[in-house]
Amino acid sequence: MTIAIGNDHAGTVYKFEIIKHLETKGYTILNFGTDTNDSMDYPDAIHPTATAVETGKATFGIILCGSGNGAQMTANKHQGIRAALCWNNELVVLTRQHNNSNILTIPARFVSVQQVLGFVDIFLDTSFEGGRHGNRVDKISC
**pLDDT tens column, 68-119:** 999 999 999 999 999 999 999 999 999 999 999 999 999 999 999 999 999 9
Of 22, 119, 24, which Cα lies nearest the Cα of 64? 119
Higher pLDDT: 18 or 131? It is 18
Q: CA–CA separation, 113 vs 129, rounded Å?
A: 28
Catalytic center residues: 65, 98
Instruction: Band the pLDDT of 32: cuts 50, 70, 90.
Output: very high
pTM for the model stands at 0.96
Residue 39: CB atoms within 10 A of its CB come to: 9
**Under a CB-based contact definition with an 8 Å cutoff, are residues 62 and 104 in contact?**
yes
Average pLDDT for residues 111-136, to the nearest whole number?
Answer: 95
CATH classification of the domain holding 32: 3.40.1400.10
Of 113, 52, 110, which Cα lies nearest the Cα of 83? 52
**Residue 120's domain spans which residues?**
2-138
Say how many domains are in the chain. 1
Average pLDDT for residues 57-65, to the nearest whole number?
Answer: 98
